[in-house]
Each structure stands twice: as structure tokens, then as C-alpha cells.
A and B are shown apart, each in its own frame.
Chain A
């Protein structure tokens, strides 16, 4: 199947080859699952929480003891922010504005943890940054 990774963010040290391998493995375990399956997959010594939006998968890899539903909704919260920020977001927005998406990620997740959950606060901050030169 044809697939592209639109954005990857790493919170642990890996070299480039390892990163590539991980991306391929994650792709392999996530895309074979169907809608009736859970949104969780065991992955190495971690687990992946993922959600599919149209043709795009959003995946987070977390510790096995982490709260599945909290991260599942963390993904949705992030997607809603993107949607608001890009006014009805589509995949191309993420391609052309990849450098802005990194900013959105850093506003909401930092050091592998949740930084801010309020959509209002995040969007306010993003609009402020947008207005800067």
C-alpha cells in the first residue's frame, strides 16, 4: 500500500535508520487493523494509540501503563485544534505547512507529555504567533 509519513515527532533518541525502521513497523501494525478493532496496538515494549481520520492515521506511542483513552482523546483534541487553525484541515495543509504543524505539536505536547489541553488557549497562542513576523 502506498503510504507517506506526513510528520513524525520523537521524544527519545534514535538514529535516522532506526527512526525509519520504526516508522515502517508502526505503519505495518496500524494499517492492517479494521474499524472493529481497538484503537490500541502493542508495539515492542510500548503500545500505540491511534485514530484514523479519512486516509490519515494519527498515532502516539506510549508506555504500556499509560492511560489509553486519555491519549486517544489527546489525539482528537489535537486534530480539533488543527481543524480550527487551518479552517477545515486537510492533508495538504499539513504538507504545505509542515513547519507550523510542529509548532502546534509543541504547544500541546512537549517532552512526550501533555503540555496544554485547552483548545481555546492553544488557538489563542497560535493566532498570536501567526500575527508575529
Chain B
């Protein structure tokens, strides 16, 4: 027990701590603690007044018990009493207890603040510091309100001791961060800035954190700090290593203060005053020079302190991005670190070089280190260093080295850690597309990507390769050949099967001349994968088969036989079954001409043709895009654009730079919404291209994911044009109405899905009550933090629906799912949908924020009512007021199959009445909508006209709004 032997503390405390340490089990520890708690309680409650020492000792024991992880529910008052002691050690324990066990008990806060106030006024520097430290540690709003006026006064007063100034500056910083509205600097600004001139280096060190924080918020108000900071920095940098005595750390003068000064300057542009700027540039040069001098000590502390300043200086040089000479010198210095034996330095050099790569002045200099960086990617032991190397390769990539970098990244992917694969895949996909000069290389790259890391290849990536192939004649034959070869592998990823199925279905004819890839061989190859695939891929393959029948009439019997087999035509999955049936029928009844028309090759994606890019392409021919894109992304100017005709192309395109940032190569964003409406049978490439995978949102994901520097946000996959739409959490996603309609007739399913997140829902209703389960699935491998959801009922809905739920866990691990249960009570009838807002952050990305409509619709509260034909028409007549009826006549958007319609009506909620309507083709339903306040009887009649492909829908209910709203909801379903 070393502390006891020192004999300067509280003996009872030391004994107690020893006892606890000697406890052999958790139970023994708890027993000992309970004994102590009982003892302390009795002392505090005892008649005898405790002296200050005992009080201090017991409060300190309580604190120790709390820090062991046990709850403490008494002793707060005694701790507060210690504040009024005039002994330092007692006060200190009192303040410590309060700082650690913050309690917003209002009575105590008043007493605590009173104690602090007395100490601040005491003119005793030790007590003042204790009080200031307590405020800085607690940082509550009450304290801000009580002391925000007093602390600036203490900070700038001429007679305040240095140590108190240090504490006051940081105390103010904490209050400013916690309650910026309360802490107003106004009149103190200039005097605070002048603390940079203070003689005491400790005061400057503390004050500069405050000044930096304030400068970030109000740069203009504090800009007078720039010349002061420069002159202070210059004095430190030019001082000999012994000048600053106490503030020299391992022969480095004031390393922390130097870093802070350099950091403060990064809040501002380069100084305008020539003299100031000259002095600063001189400082930066001196710092770079010192890095080349032989070390004054072999200790790592010396080199760390020196390099801390160096890295901060380089950050400032990059921030200014205006001194080519300094940028190149910085790059060379970092280049040396890339091969340093210290892992820390290699890591930091890679990180820092990543930002240098985006400067036009140093991009070329960074590129010279490519071999070293590739080597780092292959050999570094620490995954975080490899990750930085991958980031740097991505940042230094341009047209000149894209092939090499992409190849290295691909080969790294084979062994890459799972945690960074997803990001690597996106990076490779973006680079491959951005710098694709010949598209066979692009196709090879993406197929390799699927082969190596298929699980991490998102839908967007393989949609994209298909779009590009469809739109580029020159690559189609190559693509067909390549996928055919790729599919030969005994085990290939499902994404490969999808791409293969799609491309062979379109362009298999281009390789059919070779007997090794004859139509039947192609078909058998595809079909050999069929049984291993999921339903959406099978659906895609079926479409590929019908395309084959058109491309290669000789395959017709084989394929028809496949379609006719029970496993297809009687498949339990309705989508597969329907396709099998329809394709079989189509292939047998349609004439060759009709077949050829229906199954014609996919037209190039029309919206893409109309995009700015298409114009550009017509003008400039292929290749131009990637070059101009490069220019936009990197701002490299003409110099980097390689040689010969490419260079000419580039110059021309950059001149026609009306090119908007949205000039994505083949517009996934614009193409996706078009696909479902093309009327082609082969819309499978976008199986979820409808509302569920809102492309704007997915692109958002790309952007967020890679955390690209803003200057490259105009590159292919990274624009987020819709972003602003989603910033206001009150605005639901544009497609949320469609999402809502999807759930009118069903209660379970996937409510929403994008790159990052999948939301599933399941709900059940009884009478006017309902319960909805939401399942939030993290689709990435990275943890979501600050995950919050909130449910709001806009407008009148507040009074119509009662929604209750508990908050979800704020952290969602990669691949994990969290569940939220909503309890719903319908108070009266309603038309709007409640809104679900979801916010979360993920490492390396900005905050995500999206709002959806929750599929809670009035029909969920239907109770079916069985009745006879006579009753039905009697009630029908009773509800004959014009406002009680709502009617719509509309064209069928979906199958008019009786069973399908029945399923939908049953899903809607009312009873489906058989043998009621004299016309057997018609459907009638009856039900009661249960709200808390009333019951609303509803009758429904749906009259299909198969010939005209039309419906007439009539609703009658005792409440006009309900009739109208139900009619509106239902009309979207058929």
C-alpha cells in the first residue's frame, strides 16, 4: 500500500481502498461496500457534527465507490458543504465530487453556484482555479447563465494571476461550446485577442484554444489575431532551443503552442499584409528546414514534437494552397516519411499526402510516390495504414496512372480486410468509370470486381456496367465474350449471373458464331446457374431466356420445355410463375415478327441520350467524357492530359465547359426511373428501380460513403443533386407516396431501402388499435451512430392518431438490425400519413437524414362485416346522399385477374361479399372503420371492364371524407 506509507492522505480512505482490492470476489466487494455505505450514512445522519476532515474523507470514499461503478444516492449535501470550507483539501474533494457526480438537482445547483461565486470573488487564486475548473468540468447551462458575465472579466483583468487566466480562458471555452447564446464576447474581443501577446506562455497556450474556437465561429470579429499569431509563431520558431526554458520539450521550443498557432491560422486565408505574409512564409520555410537538420536528440519525444509542428505547418500550407514552392517541399518531406521506420510517421504522411494530391501544384509531385504507396498497400501490417494507402492511391489517380492503380486496388481487394472492402469496391468502380478510355477495360474491371468481391458490389455498380454496355456498340461483343468466359467458373457470384444473363440475353448473338459459345451452350451455361440463384435473379434469367427465343429460334423447344416444367410454371413464387406462364404463352402464340418487336434489343437509355453528356458525345466522340471529367475533378488544366489526339479532345471539351456538374457518364440517376416504363419485358435490370431504391438517395450514399473532397463532387457517381430535398426533415422523400400505396393492401414488407439502410415493417391491427414493428437494418459494414428515429403527425393528424414508441438504440452495428415498436391508436378518421424521420451518422460520412411516410392508412382500422345481398343494397340506398359517395373510373394499371383483385380487396380490410352483386364480375365489400370516437360504416363496389381495361370504383360511407380518401387510396391499387 504505497499511498498509505506516504502518510499524506486520508488514512481511512487508504484502508478502505486496500480492503476493496483484497476482496476475493465481486460478492465480497459488494458486501464491503455496503458496510461502508451504512457506516457513512450513519455518520452523516448522526447527532454529532462531523469535522471537515471526516466529511472530506467520507465524501471521498463515496466518490471512490461511485467510480467503482456503484450508485450513490446520498452525500451530495455534505459535498456541497465542503465548498464553504476554507481548507483547500476539503474544498477540492467537494468540487471533485460535484464534477464527477453532476446532478441537476435544482436546489443543489443554487447552493453549488453560491459556493463557486464565493470562491470566484475570494481573490485567492487557488480557490478561484478550483471554482473555474468545476465550471469547466460541469459546463451546465445553469452555470453558463450564472457566470458567463463574470468569467471574461476575470480573464482580462490586469491583476488576475496567470494560472487563473489560464483556467478562465478554457472555462469560457467550455461554456461557449455548451451555451453559445449565453456567452457573449462583444466588448472583450480585442482584449482576449491580445492574450496572444501575453508574456506567460501558459496563458497564451490556454487562450489560443478559446480564440481558435471563437475565430471559427466569427472569423471577421477575430481577424486581428492573424498578425499577432504570426509574430508569436515567428518568435518561437526562430528561438534557440534553450530560450524558452520551461516551455522547451526535448529540445523543441513550445511544440504545443506552435501547433495551436498554426491551427489558428488555418481559420483564415493567407494574410493580405505583405510583411505579415512574408514573415509567415519565412516561419514555414524554417520549419521545413528544421526537418532536414540532424536531430538534437535520439528520443522519439524529440522527433514527435518536431514533427507535430511540421505536420501542422504542412496542413497550413495545404490550406493556403497558393505557394507552389512550399507545397512541393511539403510533398518531398512527406515522401521521405513514407519510408520511415516509424509506423506513426508513415501513417501520417499518407494521410497528409492525400490532401496534397488534390492541389494542382502538388498533384504531380505526389504521383511520383506511387510505387511506395502501392508497396505500403501490400506490406503494411496495420490495417489503418493500408487504408490510408488506398485513400492516397484513390486521391492521386488520374488518367495517366488509372490502369495501374485500379489493377493494384483489385489485387489488394482479394485479401483486403472485410471492414474496408465495401469502400474499396466503390472506389474501384468509380475510378474505372471515371478514367475509362477504352470500355473493354472498364468491363473487365467491373467483372473482376464482381468476381473478387461480389458480395460488396452494390446494385448501382452492376446496373451501371449494363447501362454502359447497352449504350456502347463497340463494347457489346467484347462484353458478351467476357461474361460468357466469366460464367464458366464453377462458382460464380450471383451478381455475375445477373450481368451475364442480361448481357447474353441482349448480345449473345454476337458470340454465337463460335461453336464453343453456340446458342445452346450459352443457354445451358446460364441455366446451370439458375437453381443457385435468388428469386430476383431467376426472374431476370427467365427474361433472358425469352430473349434467347427471339435471338436464336433454334433454342425455342429447349427453353419452352424449361418454362413448361412444374418448377417454373407452378413455382410458388408468384412473380416467377407469372413470367413462366406469360413467356411460354408469348413464345407459342406470337408470330416471329411480333416476337422480334416485343423482344427487340433494349434501346439505349433514352434520358441519357437527352442528357448534356449525349450532346457532348456526339460532338467529341468517345473518350472525351472521361478526360473532361478528370479536368473538372482535379482542376489539372491542360498540362496533364496526356498526349496526341486525347489532349486535343480534352482541350476542346474543357472549352465547351457549359458541362454541368450533373454530366454523369451514363446517368444512373436519370436512367433508373425510365426503365420501368420502357414497356420492355426486360426491365429486370432495375428490379427495384421503382421507389424502393430511389436513385437520388443511393447516390447520396455513394457520396457520403467515400467522403470525397468537395472539389470532386462533380465526378460520376458522387453527385448528390437531390440532397437538399432531404435536408429538411419535415419533407418526406418524393417517392414516399408510392411507398405508402404499396402498403395499403398489405401489412408486411420492405418499406424502404437504399445503399445504407433497409427498413422493414410488419404490423397488426385490431379495432381502433394497431401495432407496427419497424426493422432498421444496417446494410453496410460500418457502424451507424446517433441513430434516432422520430414519428410526427403533421397538422390535424395530431388529434386523429395517437402514436407511441420508445427510442431506438443509438448505435447500429454493421450488418445489424434494430427494431422499434409503434403503438397506434386511431382517434378519429384521417387522411394524412404519419411521418417517420430517421437520422444517423456513419464514420467518414455526413449525417444521413430522411423522412418517409408510415404506411398507416385509414383502411387499417376496417372490421369486416358480413351481410346478405338484401341488407347490402338496403344500406347502399341509405347512404345515397351525394357527399356520402365517392366514385372513380380509371384505367387498370395492374392485372385484372379476379384472384389478384380479391387478394387486394381482402388485404384492404373489409369483408368481400360473395353472391351479392347481380353481376358476378363485380366485387362488393362491406366493413366498419373503427375509430375511438365513432364507427364509420363503409360499402364498396368495384366494377371491372375487362374489354376496356377499366374499373369503376364506388365507395359509400357515413362520412364524406372517408369515402373520398378510401376511393383515392384504392384507385392506386388496381
**Footprint of B on A, CB under 8 Å?**
11, 13, 20, 33, 36-42, 44-45, 67-70, 72-74, 76-77, 90, 92-93, 95-99, 102-103, 106, 110-121, 125, 128-130, 132-133
Contacts and interface: CB of A to CB of B under 8 A. Distances in A.
22 contacts: A45-B841, A70-B255, A72-B304, A76-B301, A92-B2, A92-B3, A95-B21, A96-B1, A96-B2, A98-B67, A106-B133, A111-B170, A111-B174, A114-B205, A117-B256, A117-B257, A118-B247, A121-B246, A129-B92, A132-B87, A132-B89, A132-B126
A36 B381 CA distance: 8
A116 B166 contact: yes
A42 B308 contact: no
B340 to A, nearest CB: 12
B64 interface: yes
B749 interface: no
- In the A-B complex, the 4 residue pairs with the smallest Cβ-Cβ separation, listed nearest first, are A96-B3, A69-B308, A111-B174, A118-B246
Given A67-B308, A77-B249, A117-B247, A93 B843 contact: no
B280 to A, nearest CB: 18
Interface stretch (B343-351, B510-518, B726-734): B343-351
Given A38-B385, A93-B2, A118 B201 contact: yes
A96 B18 CA distance: 8
Nearest to B845: A45
Contact of B301 (A20, A33, A42, A73): A73
A93 B2 CA distance: 7
Contact of B163 (A38, A44, A117, A125): A125
A133 B51 CA distance: 14
B82 interface: no
A70 B136 contact: no
Interface in B292-345: 301, 304-305, 307-308, 311-312, 343-344
Nearest to B87: A133
A97 B3 contact: yes
Given A36-B381, A37-B343, A103-B92, A70 B312 contact: yes
Given A113-B173, A133-B89, A73 B60 contact: no
Contact of A102 (B96, B174, B206): B96
Given A45-B785, A114-B256, A116-B205, A36 B133 contact: no
Contact of A110 (B136, B307, B785): B136
B260 to A, nearest CB: 8
Interface of B: 1-4, 8-9, 14, 17, 21, 60, 63-64, 67, 69, 87-89, 92-93, 96, 99, 126, 133, 136-137, 139, 163, 166-167, 170-171, 173-174, 177, 201-202, 205-206, 209, 245-247, 249, 254-257, 259-260, 263, 301, 304-305, 307-308, 311-312, 343-344, 347-348, 381-382, 384-385, 783, 785, 841, 843
A38 B384 contact: yes
A81 B26 CA distance: 34
A76 B245 CA distance: 18
Contacts of B255: 70, 73
Contact of B14 (A96, A115, A130): A96
Given A38-B382, A102-B96, A70 B3 contact: no
Nearest to A9: B137
A97 B174 CA distance: 27
Nearest to A77: B249
Contacts of A11: 174
A45 B843 contact: yes
A51 B25 CA distance: 31
Contacts of B93: 99
A133 to B, nearest CB: 5
Contacts of A120: 245-246
A37 B381 CA distance: 7
Given A73-B304, A121-B202, A115 B166 contact: yes
A74 B255 CA distance: 10
B17 A70 contact: no
A41 B384 CA distance: 8
A53 to B, nearest CB: 13
B256 A70 contact: yes
Contact of A111 (B1, B14, B173, B841): B173
A125 B164 CA distance: 12
